[in-house]
A = this chain, B = another copy of it.
Amino acid sequence: MKKYLEILINIPLFAGIQENELESLLGCLNAQVRHYPKGEIIMLSGAPMNSVGIVLEGSAQILKDDFNGNRNILARVKHGELFAEVFACIGIEHAPVTVLADTRAVVLFIDFRRIVSSCTSACAFHSRLIENMLRLMARKNMMLHEKVSCLGHRTTREKLEAFLLLHMEHAGTNPFEIPFSRNEMADYLCVDRSALSTVLGKMRDEEVIQYHKNSFELLDGFGVHK
């Protein structure tokens, strides 16, 4: 366990907690480390679950099988990231997804009930832990909300407009940079990359935006249709 402490103090869930505090906190949380060879099942869909998982080493896939039994990758969880925390918080008893070791992986499990109900020995760190957990969940929430606000438009152009506005707001300046390649942008907006390029070109021709590589500028008339 000790060898993973320096990983743990750097993950957001334990932000603001010192290394020596963390050690006692982990004991108090009854944290357990498990090792998985590549391809092994970390969490099986339908099986009972009551823990939050933290990937310490390697990476894992979150999978869901659909109506026809087709395997579907929902997400990839990497070193330092959490999984199943939403289900644990809701109190879902049986895992709705399967988690598979993508590579050889080390995972830390924490009983969720021990996170929310404060303990007697380490309450000071504990309330910080809860605050972190709330913050993490709220961030995820906001990111999802932003994504919906982009995807919830009919045309690629409208999606793109929402996306650009969002990132201008994030940056706080008008010529601003976005941390996406065209490919990643298209993936995020769930549209075809070449169609995205076309729409971008059209908007530049109409002089409502200007861009070079990842730098964009919104001009007068942006967002005004017809």
A79 interface contact, C-beta 8 A: no
Which of B74, B130, B154 is A192 in contact with, Cβ under 8 Å? B154
Closest residue on chain B to residue A168 by CB atoms = B67
The answer to whether A86 touches B154, judged by C-beta atoms less than 8 angstroms apart, is: no
Contact with B along A95-108 (1 / 0, CB 8 A): 00000000000000
Which of B140, B154, B218 is A190 in contact with, Cβ under 8 Å? B154
Closest residue on chain B to residue A118 by CB atoms = B127
List B contacts of A88 (CB < 8 A). 138
Which of B70, B89, B140, B145 is A134 in contact with, Cβ under 8 Å? B89
List B contacts of A131 (CB < 8 A). 116-117
Question: How far apart sit A85 and B138, CA to CA, in the bound complex (Å)?
Answer: 8
The answer to whether B154 touches A151, judged by C-beta atoms less than 8 angstroms apart, is: no
Q: Which of A114-129 contact B (CB under 8 A)?
A: 116-118, 123, 127
Q: Which of A127-172 contact B (CB under 8 A)?
A: 127, 130-131, 133-135, 137-142, 144-145, 147-149, 151-154, 165, 168
Q: Which of A164-221 contact B (CB under 8 A)?
A: 165, 168, 190-192, 218
Interface size on A, residues (CB 8 A): 46
A224 interface contact, C-beta 8 A: yes
A46 interface contact, C-beta 8 A: no
A1 interface contact, C-beta 8 A: no
A18 interface contact, C-beta 8 A: no
Question: How far apart sit A212 and B2, CA to CA, in the bound complex (Å)?
Answer: 60
Within the complex, the shortest CB–CB distance from A162 to chain B, in Å, comes to 9
A6 interface contact, C-beta 8 A: no
